[in-house]
Amino acid sequence: MSTTSLLASAAPTQERVLVIYTGGTIGMQPNVKGLAPGGGFQDRMADALGQLPILHQHALPAYDVLSYASLIDSSAATPLTWQQIANDIAANLANYRGFVVIHGTDTLSWTASSLAYQLQGIDRPVVLTGSMHPLETANSDAIGNLYGALRFAANIELQEVAIYFSNRLLRGSRAIKQHAESLDAFISPSYPCIGERVGEDFIYYPSRGLGFQQRGAPRFELSDYQVVSDGAVIRLALWPGIAPWQLEALLGDSRVKGALLQLWGAGNIPNDPAIIDVIANASGEGKLLAAISQCPQGSIHMGEYAAGHGLTEAGLLSGDNMTPEAAFTKLVHLLAQPLPTDDRRQRFLTSLVGER
């Protein structure tokens, strides 16, 4: 890892923002196999921001850049990646006013959700961003996203993990990537944006933020994700014709400690008691099982329809209107905690970081 500074004499460390560069499209450069994460990002970033109008440059906070030695495409991220980023933020908390995490877009919202759980109660901004096109590409969205992320990372009112992308600031535990190509790739389907760029202004809405909703000192939960890094939590979307033996093959595996099931509509499953039995048996073994809808918007209400009757009694926890990213990473986080099963279940049903 390497560190560098912009405007090195402009501000003491405590007034700076720390930029953590993990890789992703934003820093990619072409090679014989196609685009791959490129190095020297701190200088490339400084050159790009130096092309902004002078007034914009003067509005930037001073910052340092921490570049990971092993840069990745975000499709290669794992729970251990999430843990490393959280640990680096926690280790530098006293030295910086805010943080920007530069990350690939494919799993950016997964990392944001995980960081929100690990950094519960954080009293300063953590803003994730990336881009759909590399930094040096003509008319790239990278410069605008970097600029906005840095501006919001310097806002002391923002006290949570967020994503800045295409002029909008979204709660990290509420965002999803909804388009594979559009510059406006991220949305927050069940919660309004917590900030946005309007012309030259970067407007934060305190009444929508965790700083307003959850007062108090940081209470970080930096657990060892090694125990859930080998596939201990799975995700399964139901399909028409799913058979009990297929569900049993996954939930019955002794290596599985938790599972996120994506049901139909408001929480429906096939009318087959054997499927309920599979879920009940897995839950009875102490596995943490939760459900959300396959629909991108709306909540599940298990038992509202006959097709969902018995799921709650079988031990399946309602994910309400949580995103797949927020629900899955919450299962990972809770299973990494040294908690009794009943406590894990109760905490899943509790809003920890405004995720539900």
The residues assigned a catalytic role are 25, 105
Backbone angles phi, psi at 6, to 5 degrees: -105, 135
Between strands 34-37 and 28-31, the pairing is antiparallel
Amino acid occupying residue 112: A
For residue 42, give both structure tokens.
Answer: 């701190």
Between strands 176-177 and 168-171, the pairing is unpaired
- Whether 162 contacts 126, CB under 8 Å: yes
Q: Is 74 annotated as a binding residue?
A: yes
Backbone angles phi, psi at 333, to 5 degrees: -65, -45
Q: How many CA atoms lie within 13 A of 290 on its CB side?
A: 32
- Rounded Cα distance between 148 and 152, Å, is 6
Between strands 176-177 and 186-187, the pairing is antiparallel
- Whether 234 contacts 324, CB under 8 Å: no
The answer for residues whose C-beta is within 8 angstroms of residue 98's C-beta and 6 or more apart is 17, 18, 61, 124, 125, 126, 127, 152, 153, 154, 155, 158
Q: Is 106 annotated as a binding residue?
A: yes
Give the residues across from 98 on adjacent strands.
Answer: 17
For residue 236, give both structure tokens.
Answer: 């399964």
- Rounded Cα distance between 314 and 85, Å, is 36
Residue whose entry in the numeric block shows the structure tokens 């990494």? 336
Whose CA is closest to 179, among 116, 108, 227, 281? 108
For residue 166, give both structure tokens.
Answer: 């295409």
CA 188 from centre of chain: 12
CA 122 from centre of chain: 15
- Rounded Cα distance between 37 and 20, Å, is 14
Q: Is 73 annotated as a binding residue?
A: no
Q: Which residues are annotated as a binding site for substrate?
A: 74, 105-106
Q: Which residues are annotated as a binding site?
A: 74, 105-106
